[in-house]
Structure 1
């Protein structure tokens, strides 16, 4: 799955889940959404694919909700994904 697919479908994921993605982050980065392990380490799937922590699902949902509230026009998924990546790099 690609990071843009995760962002497009973010409402389908449990808030307790975490997104893991390949660096450098882009809309086409390989990504998985999984629950963290009890010891806080990335899950096996993320390790096998060599994916690192990106953001928790609840943070992405909150960010997109807040961004949508401040925009009166429909924003395409590519732009939303780009802003989420910028948020992960600069503010999270």
Structure 2
């Protein structure tokens, strides 16, 4: 599965799952979803810890709040969650927050 596919279908996944993805994180990065029982950021199956699904969903919700009436494309969804994973802050118009 690709990170873009995960971003496109976030709301379909159990929010308890963690996303792991190959670096550099892009829409085309290999990705998988696993239960992170240890709550660590260790790599799993050769993929780096990326984000928990519940946080990624929150990132997309925040993206939408800052862009009323807009529906993010898969590329925009992926850009927003990668930005959050890299910077620990939201991608908002005119900067970050």
Q: Report if TM-score (shorter chain) is over 0.5.
A: yes
* Cα deviation, residue 35, structure 1: 0.5
**Quick check: 2:63–2:80 contact (8 Å CA) kept in 1?**
no
User: Normalising by structure 1, what TM-score?
Assistant: 0.84
**For this pair of structures, how many residues does the alignment match?**
88
Partner of 1:10: 10
Q: Distance in 1 between matches of 2:27 and 2:88?
A: 18
Which structure: greater helix fraction?
A: 1
In the alignment, structure 1 residue 51 sits paired with structure 2 residue 24: no
Higher normalized contact order (CA 8 Å, seq sep 6+, divided by chain length): 1
* Cα deviation, residue 36, structure 1: 1.2
RMSD of Structure 2 on Structure 1 (CA): 1.9
* Cα deviation, residue 23, structure 1: 0.6
Partner of 2:19: 19
Q: Distance in 2 between matches of 1:9 and 1:74?
A: 14
| 5+ long unaligned stretches in structure 2 | 90-97
| 5+ long unaligned stretches in structure 1 | none
Equivalent of 1:73, from 53, 70, 78?
A: 70
